[in-house]
Structure 1
């Protein structure tokens, strides 16, 4: 977890003013944390009148928290106390400070990283590599929030209630369009070498729309993008590896015929004509139907897939011939000053809406499949995200109010006896902080927006 100490007054442009910490100051913070852990202070929970809670938040200079609860419309608010200090948190809290036994603080950027042990190994902090590119993407999204004047969900709700949704949507989409154009410009600058664009990202990150909009921007620059589906390079079914339960593991890297893919890509780079495969998922066999491709000077291949950033995919290709893009929904929007929004939750909500709209999968099924999806991401995608030449953040500042309109009724229909009910209740609690948009406001979203991939109404064919 990345942490910063921010001054009460922001910079002139509205961005937070961060106090740069020295190693000595980080050591002092660590010492204070150790004292709190040794004291084993209890967290206590109390419901108080919302007006009283708002007064407490403002006394603590937590304006975003105060605005959030002013607009939430609840008579009572849960407040947690620690040694006389009151605050509000979304989600569960441990019973006392003594539960944390092991942690490490490391200097990073202008703040520090708080590393704690994983659930699987609760007494040992694991060394994690620094992810500088990912950090820059979060920082960029935070700057976008400042441009839009949205400091948290409270001010996001205020913007919607003030009937300013159209302006917010237009600016957010304009920022996306500029980023797509920047990526295409970088590809164009290397047009003498780059012949293949590889796009990877976790589930519901908007990879398909990203590939289509990057392709569109490439066309504007005079290039001719050709989409190639990585799934057509699966090995035949009898060679597909199985998981620990004996089921076919189509997400395994070994499910791809990497040698054949590399052979065809290199032949295309050399200007040779190749017959592209088409995988028959019903029969589990690779087929050929006479689809011949030979690249011209302005052609550029675009291939999307979960393994696109795995270095083993491109180990037999010249490194100057490909350009790698990592796409994900990396929101830096927070509920308030110290309650962050999970990027995984954001993608899960997208997937619930998309699966129900276009894949005939119920919200209950999507929720129950999500742990398996996350396991595949942790194994096959996240370890390689820093290999990207550029990262595209598909998160939109206004998307939670849009997703709430579609997903909330579906979540409420999940029965309490369902194994998905606990997760659905948690998501509903989270969404209760968000002001939903209405259809008249959702209509302002352009047909090329990445969010249209999930809610429908896109001008792209998926």
Structure 2
């Protein structure tokens, strides 16, 4: 008699008896699950697993397609594996690096090649298409970590070998596609034929890998121009190369050899230099009429500490900064626009009284004394408490808020009077040459710690709200990034090693029964690659102190 195991499918709310050892891919047909887009992985007891996962015990299962974050990650990882093998087939022994996401795609280079010709790009793409057509299986394998390290060294993947060697693993999983081996910190699709939509194009000295649009995965993301952001990435990568910290394995090695103190000092000095350079640019433009500095950036980008450090540097340049909060220009609560769920949308530009804000700024620039508003978050009303403001020839107004780069915010203020700054954790350090650290993960970990420490929010609270936060950023912040006069990369090379010991206890509080466990588990695994570091040498002015505490600035 065939043994069976009972599973509960969350997608349709039904129980099924499956033959013992059935794969989730086989079970997909049995339970009759269809979703609007390609199904690429499955949550098993709220933990993301491959469709090749086999069921031997009673489980809750929930199939995921590429319109969801974890599904798109699975698709893109699998696509990158196909790209890596194609590059290896076209250029044997060549090393490919996927540097960072940019322009709605992923920018990569082939080490040792100053540029790629159109013909070379075509050959790589054609090889990718051939691999997809052959429907080759992605094999997930596991062995003692020391064996996997040696395997990667045999294949000249020192970046992967060093990452695993310094991550204190007894056993390590890796993947094989034909004779090509690679490493990824998440699951892949079952076979290459799942990856039907992609594009590979020349970009700068390397290539641009284009991927499906998450909102409409039947279409590719439309590329956008981001030259200013690319410049920030280039500068950061150049700096990492100079100091010899290309990947997390290098960072862990620096920690183990007692060099982390220097890494902290150099990282903090780099940020201070960047802030000082921005203050110098403002000072030069100050003589030409700049009187308003607008600072924008997404959640947990470190805007507040950046502003405070910038104000110090402005004073060094003999400019007196005066801060204004956009929050004080909220319309009365009953006038606040509502989102698609009928809730007050405080992230909307139109939650602000644009007319009053522009009138007040124009009067301040003329030298008038202006009665400044204050927003009462308890009553939801704007109040005037006798706070008058008047600026002089030595003053610059510093305004921090998510809408700072939106032209509509300051539509009646002359461009020559404004200096625009975009702040975000744009890029820190990659896990290895094929696994980058998403900006959103960096910011989410910062926010988890800050919410828990200062707002009494649990990890479940923060994770459950994160998609909504990101939707607001996609609508109100990211479209205006390139309007900035300068971009400031708030990510710090060593920060995830410093944040790990603070984030892990918070993430561990998420119960396995919670839907948010899948994301909490992913973040804990991601953090586990970083060695713990002693953060006592982190200065009180560090941007990370905004999230960890111990800052010399008042918030």
User: Is TM (by shorter chain) over 0.5?
Assistant: yes
1:147 to partner: Cα distance: 3.3
Structure 1 residues 30, 333: CA separation in 2 closer, same or farther (over 3 Å shift)?
same
Maintained 8 Å contact 1:195/1:321 = yes
Pair 1:267 & 2:371 matched: no
Where do residues 197-346 of structure 1 align in structure 2 (5 Å cutoff)? 197-346=293-442
C-alpha distance in 1 between matches for 2:384 and 2:373: 5
1:30 to partner: Cα distance: 1.6
Maintained 8 Å contact 1:80/1:86 = yes
Where do residues 82-161 of structure 1 align in structure 2 (5 Å cutoff)? 82-161=177-256
- Structure 1 stretches of at least 4 aligned residues deviating more than 4 Å after TM superposition: none
C-alpha distance in 2 between matches for 1:51 and 1:394: 35
Where 1:313 maps in the other structure, the secondary structure is: coil
Maintained 8 Å contact 2:106/2:208 = yes
Q: Which has the higher contact order (CA 8 A, sep 6+)?
A: 1
Where 2:166 maps in the other structure, the secondary structure is: helix
Maintained 8 Å contact 1:4/1:18 = no
1:273 to partner: Cα distance: 1.2
Match of 1:380 in 2: 476
Pair 1:445 & 2:541 matched: no
Give CA deviations for 1:274-308 in whole Å, capped at 9, x if unaligned. Answer: 11111111111111111111110010000000111
Pair 1:27 & 2:131 matched: no
Q: 1:53 aligns with which of 136, 148, 155?
A: 148
C-alpha distance in 2 between matches for 1:171 and 1:324: 27
Q: 1:43 aligns with which of 131, 138, 142?
A: 138
Q: Which runs of 5+ in 1 are unaligned?
A: 8-16
Maintained 8 Å contact 1:142/1:332 = no
Match of 1:411 in 2: 507
1:234 to partner: Cα distance: 0.7
Maintained 8 Å contact 1:199/1:211 = yes
Where do residues 7-26 of structure 1 align in structure 2 (5 Å cutoff)? 7=111, 17-26=112-121
C-alpha distance in 2 between matches for 1:332 and 1:37: 32
Where 2:110 maps in the other structure, the secondary structure is: coil
Maintained 8 Å contact 1:206/1:394 = yes
Match of 1:12 in 2: none
C-alpha distance in 2 between matches for 1:397 and 1:185: 24
Match of 1:456 in 2: 549
**Superposition CA RMSD, Å:** 1.3
**TM-score of the aligned structures, taking structure 2 as reference length:** 0.79
Pair 1:4 & 2:4 matched: no
User: More deviation in 212-221 or 307-316?
Assistant: 307-316
Where 1:5 maps in the other structure, the secondary structure is: strand
Give CA deviations for 1:205-225 in whole Å, capped at 9, x if unaligned. Answer: 000011111111000010000
1:163 to partner: Cα distance: 2.0
Q: 1:73 aligns with which of 156, 164, 168?
A: 168
Maintained 8 Å contact 2:428/2:492 = no
* Number of aligned residue pairs: 450
Maintained 8 Å contact 1:207/1:304 = yes
Structure whose CA Rg is larger? 2
Structure 1 residues 18, 317: CA separation in 2 closer, same or farther (over 3 Å shift)?
farther
C-alpha distance in 2 between matches for 1:126 and 1:334: 23
User: More deviation in 307-316 or 222-231?
Assistant: 307-316
**TM-score of the aligned structures, taking structure 1 as reference length:** 0.95
Maintained 8 Å contact 1:138/1:332 = no
Give CA deviations for 1:422-452 in whole Å, capped at 9, x if unaligned. Answer: 1111111111111011xxx211011111000
Match of 1:401 in 2: 497
C-alpha distance in 2 between matches for 1:256 and 1:106: 41
Maintained 8 Å contact 2:293/2:398 = yes
1:461 to partner: Cα distance: 0.5
Structure 1 residues 81, 125: CA separation in 2 closer, same or farther (over 3 Å shift)?
same
Where 1:72 maps in the other structure, the secondary structure is: coil
1:375 to partner: Cα distance: 1.0
Q: Which runs of 5+ in 2 are unaligned?
A: 1-104
Give CA deviations for 1:373-410 in whole Å, capped at 9, x if unaligned. Answer: 11111111111111100000010011011100111112
